[in-house]
Amino acid sequence: MLQRVYDWIDERLDITPMWRDIADHEVPEHVNPAHHFSAFVYCFGGLTFFITVIQILSGMFLTMYYVPDIVNAYESVRYLQSEVAFGMIVRGMHHWGASLVIVMMFLHTLRVFFTGAYKKPRELNWVVGVLIFFTMLALGFTGYLLPWDMKAYFATVVGLEIAEAVPFVGELAATLLAGGEIIGAQTLTRFFAIHVFFLPGALLGLMAAHFIMIRRQGISGPL
């Protein structure tokens, strides 16, 4: 059945050459675990991408039940966990995945640095990777407030105080994030919008650029 659907689409859009161009790509010998034990360190980037996909899919599920206002936010999270089928599992995946993706990205960044993969001609890809790292950190920060419990509230207070301490632009940045002088309804709405719309859009654009450059330049060689 799936083959017939694929053939129907391929007959009209001719997607097979495009798919082969993506899939039929030689993998260097030094990233093959069968030949080199250290090849596992080259898996960190792929694992980061895999966890990111899980974060996107689980986040889409969570937004179907989450209510981004200070009256209903906490109750919507409680309802999701206690009343929705598999809600606790999906939220747990999203919660722990937010930490795991940072760990895997940090390990991937270390691999790139210690193998010299940031050097010519991959300097621009390194810059894009660093921007992806900061985007992930921003996603973690903005998502932390959304359950609207005491821990999330005071963690956001600390985070905004740190942002306010940045020279020149810190006070303005903190005010824009908070939506005013206090952390309240405007803050929660802005964090939700940034977390669900602005940052994912930036992340997808950066990841597309990252993968295109990897495709053009190939996987970096060993140290």
What is the residue range of 108's domain?
Answer: 35-217
Average the pLDDT over 200-219 and give the result.
Answer: 92
Domain count within the chain: 1
Question: Does residue 77 lie within any of the structural domains?
Answer: yes
Judged against a pLDDT cut of 80, whether residue 74 lies above it is answered with yes
Question: Does residue 10 lie within any of the structural domains?
Answer: no
> Under a CB-based contact definition with an 8 Å cutoff, are residues 189 and 179 in contact?
yes
Question: Does residue 26 lie within any of the structural domains?
Answer: no
Summarised one tens digit per residue, pLDDT across range 144-160 is: 999 999 999 999 999 99
> Under a CB-based contact definition with an 8 Å cutoff, are residues 191 and 160 in contact?
no
Cβ neighbours of residue 202 under 8 Å, at least 6 residues apart? 135
CATH number (domain holding residue 53): 1.20.810.10
Summarised one tens digit per residue, pLDDT across range 10-66 is: 889 888 888 777 777 777 777 776 666 667 888 899 999 999 999 999 999 999 999
Summarised one tens digit per residue, pLDDT across range 96-134 is: 999 999 999 999 999 999 989 999 889 999 999 999 999
Question: Does residue 19 lie within any of the structural domains?
Answer: no
Question: Does residue 223 lie within any of the structural domains?
Answer: no
Write down the pLDDT at residue 204. Answer: 97
